[in-house]
Amino acid sequence: MKTRLALITEIIAPYRIPVLNALATREDTDLHVIFLAESDASLRQWLIYKDEIRFSYEVLPSWRRRLGAQNLLFNWGVARALVAAQPQVIICGGYNYPASWRAAYWAKHRRIPFLLWIESTALDRRPGLPLIERMKRHFFNLCRGFIVPGKASREYVRAFGVSDDRIFAAPNAIDVNLFQNLAAQARQDSVQLREALQLPARYFLNVGRLVPEKGVFDLVDAYAKLEMSVRSQVSLLFLGDGVAREELAARARLVSPGSIEFRGFVHRDDLPAYYALAEAFVFPTQSDPWGFVVNEAMACGAPVIASEVAGCVPDLVQNLQTGLVVPSRDLASLAKSLAFLAERPQLRTQMAGLATEIIAQYSPEAWAAGIASAAAATGGGQ
């Protein structure tokens, strides 16, 4: 018997489409996705790959504004969409928006299982204001179960007194095959690609928004601490954009010798070439509930240097196996890790091999299986 499942999430993120497609193709699931918006243009420059969507979905009417660090998103039509979907189980990605609360109470009044799909961790740097914490606990009380991507999120949910039998795992995933195949092609055509993309012979890579909380200033400062001989041989590339780009570039110009380049935003299908040809991918974030760029880098066979606060680290980054784990904001440790990998090509090759093996388990099908299992265990299809 199929479970009629309504899944509510914020935007049509490109890395979510493959996992939702995998869920929709399962024989035990009848999926309808309710997006609160198509995208968030103030933060993202993603293409929306609508031609790849293979699941039933709708985008609710919305009104969005940013007030400083606050992201306000209001929707109408939540109840109408749920009535039309007639779900046996509702999964909601987050509790930050009024639409999430509307859906939670709609489910409560109809005794429909409501599950929170949550990626938060204890190390994710967000202000723990008393009112916010009380509201969060109240929202948790509306949930029959919780779906987490990994170990850090599981521990976060446990801290709210939630028992293990109400916590289900659905590992965060990307389209592993897409990234692996494009990375393999990039390595095969490495000479032509390096020339076409004007890539340095050797480089460390960072991908993401250029904002302070991603640790980008830490990375520039750590690179500046490297021995001159290392900086002369290995460049630093940033892919992405953000409010800190101008200030970051000004600081980068003070680093000599060495080469620090800012290539701007790069779309999904062009990313694997950069990952595949890098010495290592560096993710020195100061606050991040997961870090899908780590999945991407590992799928492309790049060793990873990541700060311990990234939610994906306990699951994906095995120290001295798939990469190196460093304390957040510790410039000395970050610089030491950069130098360590720069000087060990054989170790980088070994790390790349293990990274591709491990990330294969974080597939769209694995995520879909976890979601389906959570829905079935909480009453779906009965």
State mean pLDDT over 248-271: 96
Let me know: does 276 contact 186? Beta carbons within 8 Å: yes
In a domain, 382, yes or no: no
Q: In this predicted model, what pLDDT tens digit does every residue of 32-62 receive, in sequence order?
A: 999 999 998 777 778 889 999 999 999 999 9
Euclidean distance between CA atoms 177 and 365, whole angstroms: 12
Residues of the chain above pLDDT 70, percent: 98
Q: How far is CA 226 from CA 7, 220, 312, 336, 379, in A?
A: 47, 10, 27, 8, 56
Tokens of 175: 């389209």
pLDDT of res. 380: 60
Are 119 and 51 within one domain?
Answer: yes
Model-wide pTM > 0.75: yes
pLDDT of res. 71: 80
Confidence band of 214 (pLDDT split at 50, 70, 90): very high
| Mean pLDDT of all residues belonging to the chain | 95
Q: How far is CA 303 from CA 296, 320, 359, in A?
A: 11, 10, 12
State mean pLDDT over 284-289: 96
Adjacent-strand bridge partners of 203: 235
Look at residue 291 and tell me whether its pLDDT is greater than 80.
yes
In a domain, 354, yes or no: yes
Look at residue 199 and tell me whether its pLDDT is greater than 80.
yes
pLDDT of res. 66: 78
Helices (H), the chain: 17-24, 78-85, 98-110, 130-141, 151-158, 176-188, 190-197, 216-224, 228-233, 245-252, 271-276, 292-299, 313-316, 331-342, 345-359, 364-377
State mean pLDDT over 372-382: 82
Are 155 and 18 within one domain?
Answer: yes
Tokens of 127: 């202000």
CATH number at residue 244: 3.40.50.2000
Confidence band of 125 (pLDDT split at 50, 70, 90): low
Are 25 and 165 within one domain?
Answer: yes
Are 154 and 189 within one domain?
Answer: no
State mean pLDDT over 140-144: 97
State mean pLDDT over 258-278: 97
Look at residue 370 and tell me whether its pLDDT is greater than 80.
yes
Are 88 and 140 within one domain?
Answer: yes
Are 198 and 334 within one domain?
Answer: yes
Are 18 and 147 within one domain?
Answer: yes
Number of domains in the chain: 2
CA count, 13 A, side-chain hemisphere, 234 = 24
Handedness of CA 105, 106, 109, 115 (dihedral sign): negative
